[in-house]
Amino acid sequence: MSTTATEAPRRNGVDVPTLFATLDAVKNQKEIAKFQFRASNTWVSGTHNRSQLSGFYGAMQELQHKQVTTLDADHPAVLVGQDNGPTPIEFVLHAIAACLTSGLANIAAARRVDLHKVTSTVEGDIDLLGLLGLSDGTVRNGYQEIRITFHIEGDADDETLRGLVEQSRKRSAVYDVLTTPTPIVINVITN
């Protein structure tokens, strides 16, 4: 798929020609697509800790976000924390909503659909008997189910708008890591 001279350069805030040019560049040099994202975390006190997101590797170079993002996490008071930030597992809900929404905007632009408004709400059900070690092993530690509801307004019919979400789901990095097992390697260096 390629752009034409008559195509609007931006649709939904997406630079469509550059998006297609980027896809073409990756097709021609697949090494460009190898990325590594990173976070560093420091324990503050109790269940309170803080991460920074800044540098990453991609497009065959070391890169930096234009700003460092600092994220606090804690447990709420009802879970014996000081509530200095969201619970770690809540960030997963932001991640899935954000990933599907970012993808949706790109896909809509590629399909020449003008979006007016996209909002979503996410719920994650979790039974803490699992992570508290109080179940007989039948209750999982994490979410039993995540539900996300999108409200989408755009210049397209219902089927087309639903198709944007479905395509975004199919190409979502966060959807994938939550629904398909992801290998996690943990190393520990002490004292």
Q: Which residues contact 93 (CB under 8 A, 6 or more apart)?
A: 122, 123, 124, 146
SS3 label, residue 85: coil
Give the residue, chosen from 8, 29, 114, 176, that forms a contact with its own copies under the rule CB under 8 A. 176
Q: How far is the CB of 7 from its own copies (least distance, A)?
A: 15
CB of 173 to its own copies, least distance (A): 4
Beta bridge partners of 64: 55
Diameter of the chain measured on Cα atoms: 64
Task: Considering only CA atoms, give the Rg of the chain.
Answer: 20
129 binds its own copies (CB under 8 A): yes
For the segment 153-172, give every residue that binds its own copies (CB under 8 A): 153-154, 158, 161-162, 165, 169, 171-172
Contact status: 138 vs its own copies (CB under 8 A): no
Residue 190 interacts with its own copies (CB under 8 A): yes or no: yes
Task: Please report how close the Cβ of residue 53 comes to its own copies at its closest, in angstroms.
Answer: 5
Hey, is 52 helix, strand or coil? strand
Task: Establish if 29 lies at the interface with its own copies (CB under 8 A).
Answer: no
Min CB(5)–its own copies separation in Å: 20
Report the nearest approach of its own copies to the CB of residue 66 (Å): 5
Do residues 168 and 100 lie in contact, with contact meaning Cβ atoms separated by under 8 Å?
Answer: yes
How many other CB atoms sit within 10 Å of the CB of residue 38? 10
Establish if 95 lies at the interface with its own copies (CB under 8 A): yes
94 touches its own copies by CB under 8 A: yes
Task: Say whether residue 5 binds its own copies (CB under 8 A).
Answer: no
Residues touching its own copies, count (CB under 8 A): 132
Among all chains, which residue has been given the structure tokens 């097709």? 27
The single residue listed with the structure tokens 């540098």 is 55
Decide if residue 8 touches its own copies (CB under 8 A): no
Q: How far is 14 from 23, CA to CA, in rounded Å?
A: 14
